[in-house]
Amino acid sequence: MSSILKKLFGAKGKKADGLSQPQREAIVDLLHYCMYADNHLALNEDQVVSDEVDRFNWDPAVSYEAFAVRSISRVRDAKEHPESRGEFLASIAKALKSKAAKQRALLLCRQIFQADGDVAASESELLRDIQRALS
């Protein structure tokens, strides 16, 4: 569905997603980080993110498209500086707060890693780090 149609018709009838806007943004940041983990972007991975964002009750005052650009920039910066991975994941865990939000994020990370049919060693390592950070 085009973004114009989504704005006109997509929000009506949507059930509440149970998340705050900072939680939605943290999940998107984490999913973008997972997409870049193996240095190979796959359309299936992007589709996981798009499908989840479509289910979100994204705050209309925050342009998703503009947020995504900032998110990808933050993720690339964090990925270029591996020593900041722990700090990045800690900020995600802090934003997610609830156990349900953390479980949802972890499930989505697994979906991202499995989307291209090949879970790389770097993805397995990152999943372990994410599990530790979110527990």
Query: What is the tens place of the pLDDT at every residue in 51-79?
Result: 899 999 999 999 999 999 999 999 988 88
Determine, yes or no, domain membership for 34: yes
Determine, yes or no, domain membership for 120: yes
Helix ranges (H only) for 2-134 are 3-5, 21-36, 43-55, 64-80, 85-96, 99-115, 121-134
By residue range, what is the domain housing residue 114?
Answer: 19-134
Please provide the average confidence, as pLDDT, over all residues in the chain: 85
Query: Domains in the chain: how many in total?
Result: 1
Computed from CA positions of residues 87, 53, 101, 19, in that sequence, does the dihedral angle turn out positive or negative? positive
Determine, yes or no, domain membership for 14: no
